[in-house]
Amino acid sequence: MRFLFVGLLLFASTALGQTLSLTVDNITDTAKVIGLNGEDCGDKLQVRWTLTGGVACQDMLLWVTKDSSCKDAPVTATGDYELPSVAITSVNNPGNLFREIEVDKLPVFAATDGGAGTCSTAKVEQTMRVCASVKLTNVNICSDTALRVATPVLVRFDTQPPPKPTIDAVSPRDSALGVTVSAEADSTVVVTATLPDADGGTGTVVATDETTAVEGIANLEGLENGVTYQVTAKATDVAGNSTDSDPSEGTPVKSDGFYEAYIGAGGTETGGCGAAGGGLAGGAVLAALGFWLSRRKQS
């Protein structure tokens, strides 16, 4: 009966908001991935923690794993990278205390886990989790169950460039070009309009716009109508690796406003709604309105 009572207390205390969270290099949002590549070898990431709703009764464990989830404790035999533990007195009140992850020691390089050599030579793309666990006091009894970090921060070591982005379409607009791009899911994409040199040189960059692989649409503004520009896209992943697309071309085209399109299609300056008349004249005016609205939506 006593064990049942203690179990209920443990369940109740968890339900009341006992949480353990980590901050790695000021990142706590698990929607963001900390990207690293070979240039980061020798660097260190600072790990800080927050425990709420409970009191530690054992040292807190910290580690980095390649596993898809955090366990109750690190498994060094399979390559988990264990950081120095945190003493009981510092778990609830860390002050300025922190732990460091040495990039050179990430588990992606661990020989016991089929690692890919050293940090400077590895050619890999691997996402890892920063984990933590601690046992808490419940009614003067140290729990047998560890409280794990609720949402592990993700760290990705990546030396592989992303796939080449693709320019799917270049749409002419008034003094602008709309560019639709496909790229790797986690990429940031910078689209550039270049005015080619007459002598075949690299050309002059005249406009850029940044988008994401999810959005996939860029708008290059401030261009000259009737001039053909070379358009390229560069995709950069979270680790800083980048790849350029094949070049494409686009030419901005002047788009009249609604009033000019209305007059040009046979409309009149006065006469209200009935002035468009019927038959071909009215149809032309409505066609002009449709064209103008479609161009406005693209802009």
Q: How far apart are CA 218 and CA 12, in angstroms?
A: 51
- Residues 70-93: tens digit of each pLDDT: 999 999 888 899 999 999 999 999
Q: Which residue has the tokens 């409970």?
A: 54
Look at residue 111 in the predicted model and tell me its pLDDT.
Answer: 54
Same fold? 2-158, 166-250: yes
Q: Tell me the per-residue pLDDT of 176-221, one tens digit each, with 9 for 90 and over.
A: 999 999 999 888 999 999 998 877 667 899 999 999 999 999 999 9
CATH architecture of 166-250: Sandwich (2.60)
Looking at residue 197, its pLDDT comes to: 80
**How many angstroms separate the Cα of 293 from the Cα of each of 43, 183, 226, 257, 268?**
54, 30, 21, 9, 19
pLDDT digits (tens, 9 = 90+) for 132-180: 999 999 888 999 999 999 899 999 999 888 899 999 999 999 999 999 9
- In terms of Cβ atoms closer than 10 Å to its own Cβ (0-12, 13-18, 19+), residue 233 is buried
Pick the CATH number of 2-158 from 2.60.40, 1.20.120, 1.10.1060, 1.10.10: 2.60.40
pLDDT score, position 265? 52
Average pLDDT, the chain: 81
Q: For the chain, what are the domain ranges? A: 2-158, 166-250, 258-298
Residue that has been written with the tokens 């209920």 in this structure: 8
pTM assigned to the model: 0.65
